Amino acid sequence: MKNEIFKKLLFVLALFTVSFSAVAQDGEEVVEEAPEVVIDMDFNKSLYANNFGNMYMSETPKAVLMAMVVPQSYESGKAELKKSMEPDLKNFKVQEFTENGVKYFACTGIMNQNNEEVYVEVMVKKVVDDSCLMVTSMYEVGVKTKYEKEAKKAILSAKVID
């Protein structure tokens, strides 16, 4: 199940990771990769035994929390997120809210992987006009109460470290 969850997570995140590209004068495409970004989040990190940059994982129970900066406007990211997530999740729900003057958008639902249900929550936080923070949380349905609370704490506290 772990490999399937990671494949699905990476697929969804790849939809939102936009490489900056420009066309050189001779017609060749030049691609610049976004720099590694450190995102600070305040949540119970002891729930996740493994940490790789802005990704936190647990084997038992199976859970992932990942943060990234998406070089896309909040409105554009919100529309693409809803469009790409809705077909794959049952009990799909969207929510938009403002807290402390900052806009947030969340998509939630349940994904079935190898006959196991996995709760998926992706939240987008407006940062500046041309980028937003995205926090993705996936975990076994049976531990939703515990991990859902920490995912919300993570997105509400998420900030880019310069």
pLDDT averaged over every residue in the chain: 79
Number of Cβ atoms within 10 Å of the Cβ of 43:
22
Q: State residue 88's pLDDT score.
A: 82
Alpha-carbon torsion, ordered 138, 142, 148, 151, to 10 deg: -40
Q: Residue 125 and residue 74: Cα distance in Å, rounded?
A: 7
pTM over cut 0.85: no
136's tokens: 């993705």
Q: Do the beta carbons of residue 108 and residue 121 sit within 8 Å?
A: yes
Alpha-carbon torsion, ordered 138, 155, 14, 5, to 10 deg: -10
Q: State residue 29's pLDDT score.
A: 53
Return the closest-CA partner of residue 138 out of 106, 105, 111: 111
43-82, pLDDT tens digit by residue?
Answer: 999 999 899 999 999 988 989 999 999 899 999 988 888 8
Pick from 31-40, 74-83, 140-149, 153-162: least confident: 31-40
Give the pLDDT band (50/70/90) at residue 113: confident
Give the pLDDT band (50/70/90) at residue 42: very high
Q: Which letter does DSSP use for residue 34 in this model?
A: P
Q: Where are the domains of the chain?
A: 2-161
CATH topology of domain 2-161: Protein Transport Mog1p; Chain A (3.40.1000)
